[in-house]
Structure 1
Amino acid sequence: MRVEIWSDIACPWCYIGKARFEKGLAAFAHRDAIEVVHRSFELDPGRGRGDTEPVIDMLAGKYGRTREEARAMEEHVASTARAEGLDYRTDGRDHGSTFDLHRLLHLAKARGRQDALLDLAYRANFAEERSVFDPGTLTALGAAAGLPEDEARAVLADEDAYAEDVRADEREAAALGATGVPFFVLDRRYGLSGAQPAETFTRALEQAWQGRTPEPSAPGIPACDPEGSCAV
């Protein structure tokens, strides 16, 4: 059974949601029969390459908050992440275009290294002092995930490489009605949004497993949870 996860590396709830999903999957009896595919979703698709700003400034501008309120928002997310055993820095992080990283993730998918690269990218963005908006950092992350360094560098240098794959994922997310991430589709029959508790993911997997069919229909799409997802 396939589980598709739309996410963006800039989304802290996706970072948390991935950890919770993996805990829920670990508790699922048929976990070895689950194929997980990560799909692209940009929270800031209009931002140009090289256009970065501090996360606190981005949050204050996007939500009309003061810098102090934006810091409090970050601290809330950080405490939630740490409760899941995840490292999270609230200072010194930047926000920028994730399009190139999504293109590199599609290369990693083709080479069977997608999940490894996603984990490294999340850690670099949220836990380490490394910018995932720098081509050099992305190349290094790709190599650490097991991609040939020259191949990763070539993809990043070619703006068309895997670009259509990213856009196709985003068109599909729009067609499914997804307006925020993380967004989970189980067996093409069930939709689940937000960084749900691990137990919720386990129950959803059990329901999807019991109801799976050879040719599943499109999923129903629930509303996004503002406390557990990132919206466009």
Structure 2
Amino acid sequence: MRVEIWSDIACPWCYIGKARFEKGLAAFAHRDRVEVVFRSFELDPNGPRGTTAPVVEMLAKKYGRTLDEARGMEEHVAATARAEGLDYRTDGRDHGNTFDIHRLLHLAAARGRQNALLDLAFRTNFAADRSVFDPEVLAALAVEAGLDETEARAVLADETAYAEAVRADEREAAALGANAVPFFVLDRRYGISGGQPAEVFTRALEQAWEGYEPAGTDPAAEACEPDGACPAPQV
């Protein structure tokens, strides 16, 4: 069985959803026969490349909140992430265009190191004191994930490298009706949207394995929408 996951490293619910999916997969009896593939989905494809903005300021502007309210939004997500055993920094994080990160993830997929790089990119973006939007940091993460440094730097320097692969993933997401991430597709038969609880993923895997349609998913589960929009909790 193949599970495809559309996500963006700028999406906190993708970070949380990946952890929850992996817990759900661990409880699935046939987990050794599941192939997991990550697909590209940019939350803010029109965002300027090479520039960043503080996350708290971005949230305040997007949702018409005060900075204190925006910090409260971040704290809400942070508490959810920490409950899943994930580190989450609420101060000093930045937001930027993720196209180059997606291109590098496609290189990593071709070299069998996609999951390793994705985990590093998520942790760096949400928990580290360095910016994943810095090309030097991104190159270092590629090496840490097991990629060849020269090849990784060549991809980052060539804006056309794996660009069509990223766009193809995004076109496919649109064709499948995915308008928010994370978005999970099980064996090209069933789709699940949002950062569902781990037990929901386990149940969906079991039902997909048996050929039944998954039930019990929450259509309102938290997800991030295009242009960087994520649910704004009440604070």
TM-score (norm 1): 0.94
Residue of structure 2 equivalent to 1:77: 77
State yes or no: 1:231 paired with 2:225: yes
User: Structure 1: how far apart are the matches of 2:130 and 2:191?
Assistant: 33
State yes or no: 1:143 paired with 2:164: no
Secondary structure of 1:230 counterpart: coil
Structure 2 stretches of 5 or more lacking a match? Answer: 227-235
Aligned-pair CA distance for 1:83: 0.3
Aligned-pair CA distance for 1:223: 8.4
Residues 184 and 192 in structure 2, CA contact (< 8 A), matched pair in contact too? yes
Task: Write out aligned runs for 1:16-55 (5 A).
Answer: 16-55=16-55
1:80 corresponds to which letter in structure 2?
T
User: Structure 2: how far apart are the matches of 1:36 and 1:127?
Assistant: 24
Secondary structure of 1:133 counterpart: coil
Q: What is the percentage of aligned positions where both structures have the same residue?
A: 78
TM-score (norm 2): 0.92
| More deviation, 168-177/31-40 | 168-177
Residue of structure 1 equivalent to 2:107: 107
Q: Deviations over 1:36-72 (max 9, x none)?
A: 0000000011012112100001111112221111111
User: Structure 1: how far apart are the matches of 2:56 and 2:69?
Assistant: 9
Secondary structure of 2:202 counterpart: helix
Residues 94 and 131 in structure 1, CA contact (< 8 A), matched pair in contact too? yes
Residues 179 and 224 in structure 1, CA contact (< 8 A), matched pair in contact too? no
User: Structure 1: how far apart are the matches of 2:225 and 2:72?
Assistant: 18
Task: Write out aligned runs for 1:72-221 (5 A).
Answer: 72-211=72-211
Q: Deviations over 1:91-149 (max 9, x none)?
A: 00000000000000000000000000000001100010111111101100000000000
What is the RMSD computed on CA atoms of the aligned residues? 1.4
Secondary structure of 2:147 counterpart: coil
Structure 1 stretches of 5 or more lacking a match? Answer: 213-218
Secondary structure of 2:38 counterpart: strand
Residues 89 and 127 in structure 2, CA contact (< 8 A), matched pair in contact too? yes
User: Structure 2: how far apart are the matches of 1:223 and 1:196?
Assistant: 7
Residues 5 and 38 in structure 1, CA contact (< 8 A), matched pair in contact too? yes
Residues 180 and 224 in structure 1, CA contact (< 8 A), matched pair in contact too? no
User: Structure 1: how far apart are the matches of 2:173 and 2:70?
Assistant: 28
Secondary structure of 1:165 counterpart: helix
Residues matched between the structures, number: 223
Residue of structure 2 equivalent to 1:67: 67
